[in-house]
A and B are shown apart, each in its own frame.
Chain A
């Protein structure tokens, strides 16, 4: 029964340098195949830059999956429009930064804190607004409403002049160029040789460090929630709404609580997403993003913190590596041999295999919230996807 947050913190802090060390020999190694099945030249280079792209993408989805987990895994409400919260968080931070560029240039720390607060506040507010009319909805109906809401948010952004429409907000930054350069110059020249320095320098490492810090905070937050009596309130609502009410739990308060927390974490994920690409654009908040987050969750095990982290790392790095590998495929008449969209097949394959062999996800360890692994009554995650009101009242 003893769970230590410190394990997660240490794990999250240590795993990153560890992975860098492990992958060190592979950086800048080129795989060259002259005649790839008779189609032409296949050339793939795995650079430090690649690694950072993959790593930061995985980190964003760790945060997104953890936030979604509060609503789907803890409270049992299937949210298919999680990307709406991410979009609101990302856009509120981006708009704020766009309006106060001077401040960001001169006082980056104040700027970062303020825009993060903006992201948290507005996404939380939207979480509340979505939750209020959907309190009485369950299962598929809730999923449909959230799905529709996400699409509404995207269309509003796309067509609203104030939000820069389909042009998007460009040239956003987390730390100004000078800070990034200073860190890179002083940090890497300490222990890297010149080749390696050249490989690592172009990346804004300080940004990734900041993302990692945010991720650790979010992990602590959700584990803490899980172990508190407010977490238990959410589990009670997930397992049996009527019984939860008969224990003195207010369903509406519980659902609002879960929705707001989930939205706030989603806002942080959206903030990271916008800052990573330094671009806020409606096309980066499409429906597939919420499906990715849900896939990460299903892969890792719905309801488990460890599962969300593991699932996001596996699925997102697989997806990104596959994209790079597929783009490196030989081209025929300018068209790639296999389009890079083919990587989505992998998502489906992974999910089907999961459902067949481990319906409760990779991480169903004994201490997790959905403690079903070795038990008799294995319902699996499909339980949360059944039609409507399944309460057969007596």
Chain B
């Protein structure tokens, strides 16, 4: 069953067609990758999915709902969480607090409630317990009391994933999770993504690290110039002439001579 369906999504910034008529389907409990050269519109598509931008045209259907007119925070409560390409953590708060903010949507929404001491105590105890679970899941338990901005780069990315997981998503959007990570960290990340999937969460990721993409993704979409270029399994993408052209440029007579 497909969890996410994008039908002909378009996003134009003036005359620039950042995303043009892109249609894709993400199967439930799968790992799907979205690749493409720089400026292909991958992040714009993510921003459309999380309602940071509203689509110029097209439909985004998640789990049977039309997501077109929702606000970013409503999308989160429907079960789509994301991480960012340029890390966006709450720098002045501790690691634990960052994850607790991710839990915000699950905590009581009555604005007068925090003023009842006994309620607050129970709510906070619950929040801390479940935040610790998420930290354990991604392996950041030892860093609990650190400030988010003092974490090493790779850990910051992991923390972003933990925060996204804390919102309780059905679909997790990862925007270049391996960017700036070293080999070991990438290996750990692969494990983490696989564990996330086995926890029943569908993963859609943007990534430039082809080794990682080929290793974990079941289905790959290739974007170029805002348009869908190719889709298929890892192998078929590797052998695709079109994809090769998009990444490396066309083979012409001239290049052969040189």
Give chain A's interface residues, CB within 8 Å of chain B. 1, 224-225, 227-233, 235-236, 238-240, 242-251, 257, 303, 369-372, 375-377, 392-394
**In the bound complex, do residue B111 and residue A245 qualify as a contact, i.e. CB atoms below 8 Å apart?**
no
**In the bound complex, do residue B86 and residue A229 qualify as a contact, i.e. CB atoms below 8 Å apart?**
no
**In the bound complex, do residue B114 and residue A232 qualify as a contact, i.e. CB atoms below 8 Å apart?**
no
The listed residue with most A CB atoms (<10 A of its CB), out of B77, B91, B127, B164, is B91
**In the bound complex, do residue A239 and residue B90 qualify as a contact, i.e. CB atoms below 8 Å apart?**
yes
Alpha-carbon separation in the docked complex, A224 to B117 (Å) = 9
> Which residues of B have CB within 8 Å of A244?
90, 101
**In the bound complex, do residue A232 and residue B86 qualify as a contact, i.e. CB atoms below 8 Å apart?**
no
**In the bound complex, do residue A248 and residue B114 qualify as a contact, i.e. CB atoms below 8 Å apart?**
no
Query: Which single residue of chain B is at the shortest CB-CB distance from A252?
Result: B71
Contact status of A248 and B104, CB under 8 A, knowing A229-B127, A243-B84, A394-B85: yes
Having A240-B89, A243-B84, A246-B76, one finds 16 other A-B pairs with CB under 8 Å, namely A228-B120, A230-B114, A232-B93, A232-B101, A232-B104, A242-B52, A245-B73, A247-B76, A247-B166, A248-B76, A248-B104, A249-B101, A249-B105, A370-B92, A371-B94, A394-B43
**In the bound complex, do residue B101 and residue A247 qualify as a contact, i.e. CB atoms below 8 Å apart?**
yes
Minimum distance in angstroms from A131 CB to a CB of chain B:
14
> Which residues of A have CB within 8 Å of B47?
393
A-B complex: 4 closest residue pairs judged by Cβ atoms: A248-B105, A228-B114, A248-B76, A243-B88
B66 within 8 A of A: no
Query: Which single residue of chain A is at the shortest CB-CB distance from B88?
Result: A243
Q: Which of A240, A246, A303, A392 contacts B82 (CB 8 A)?
A: A246
**In the bound complex, do residue A235 and residue B104 qualify as a contact, i.e. CB atoms below 8 Å apart?**
no
B56 within 8 A of A: no
> Which residues of B have CB within 8 Å of A250?
71, 73
Interface segment out of the listed B144-152, B180-188, B189-197, B211-219 = B144-152
Contact status of A239 and B127, CB under 8 A, knowing A230-B114, A246-B82, A248-B77: no
**In the bound complex, do residue B43 and residue A249 qualify as a contact, i.e. CB atoms below 8 Å apart?**
no
B124 within 8 A of A: yes
In this complex, how many residues of chain B approach chain A with their Cβ under 8 Å: the count is: 45
Contact status of A232 and B97, CB under 8 A, knowing A247-B105, A250-B73, A377-B150: yes
Query: Which single residue of chain B is at the shortest CB-CB distance from A5?
Result: B117
B20 within 8 A of A: no
Q: Which of B72, B103, B150 contacts A376 (CB 8 A)?
A: B150
Query: Which single residue of chain A is at the shortest CB-CB distance from B167?
Result: A248
A to B CB contacts below 8 Å, 25 in the list: A1-B145, A224-B115, A224-B120, A228-B114, A229-B103, A230-B111, A235-B90, A235-B101, A236-B90, A239-B92, A240-B88, A242-B88, A243-B84, A246-B164, A250-B73, A257-B111, A369-B92, A370-B92, A371-B94, A371-B147, A375-B147, A377-B149, A393-B47, A394-B84, A394-B175
Contact status of A240 and B76, CB under 8 A, knowing A233-B101, A247-B105: no
The residues in B between 123 and 176 inclusive whose CB is less than 8 angstroms from any CB of A are: 123-124, 127, 145, 147, 149-150, 163-164, 166-167, 175
The residues in B between 18 and 74 inclusive whose CB is less than 8 angstroms from any CB of A are: 43, 47, 50, 52, 71-73
B229 within 8 A of A: no
**In the bound complex, do residue B102 and residue A247 qualify as a contact, i.e. CB atoms below 8 Å apart?**
yes
B100 within 8 A of A: yes
Alpha-carbon separation in the docked complex, A232 to B90 (Å) = 10
Query: Which single residue of chain A is at the shortest CB-CB distance from B50?
Result: A246
**In the bound complex, do residue A225 and residue B104 qualify as a contact, i.e. CB atoms below 8 Å apart?**
no
> Which residues of B have CB within 8 Å of A372?
92
Q: Which of B76, B92, B115, B164 contacts A371 (CB 8 A)?
A: B92
Contact status of A224 and B89, CB under 8 A, knowing A248-B167, A376-B150: no
The listed residue with most B CB atoms (<10 A of its CB), out of A229, A235, A249, A393, is A229
Alpha-carbon separation in the docked complex, A194 to B140 (Å) = 68
> Which residues of A have CB within 8 Å of B88?
240, 242-243, 246
**In the bound complex, do residue A247 and residue B104 qualify as a contact, i.e. CB atoms below 8 Å apart?**
yes
> Which residues of B have CB within 8 Å of A235?
90, 92-93, 97, 101
Minimum distance in angstroms from A313 CB to a CB of chain B:
25
Alpha-carbon separation in the docked complex, A238 to B91 (Å) = 10
B81 within 8 A of A: yes
Alpha-carbon separation in the docked complex, A377 to B156 (Å) = 14
